[in-house]
């Protein structure tokens, strides 16, 4: 009879190279009130307008939303 060694478990996976950074809200800053953004529906013709409005909103509130660009 042959002696069989038990299988070893594979090593754990390496941590990701670039961990995902979450956007945090700075509770000491008040958010600049603007019209609510219209949710993007997937219409390609409205994508540029949506991105411009989103960028403007985040720029106006850059002290509130910490994101390291």
CA 21 to chain centre: 7
pLDDT along the chain (69 residues), means of 10: 72 66 58 81 93 88 72
Cβ 42 vs Cβ 19: under 8 Å = no
Q: Is 49:6 a contact under the CB 8 Å cutoff?
A: no
CA distance 49 to 52: 5
Helix and strand numbers (H, E) in the chain are 1, 2
pTM, rounded to two decimals: 0.50
């Amino acid at each position: 009879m042959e002696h069989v060694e038990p299988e070893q478990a594979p090593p754990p996976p390496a941590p990701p190279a670039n961990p995902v950074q979450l956007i945090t809200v700075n509770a000491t800053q008040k958010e600049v009130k603007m019209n609510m953004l219209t949710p993007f529906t997937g219409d390609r013709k409205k994508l540029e307008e949506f991105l411009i409005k989103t960028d403007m909103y985040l720029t106006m509130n850059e002290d509130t939303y910490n994101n390291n660009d």
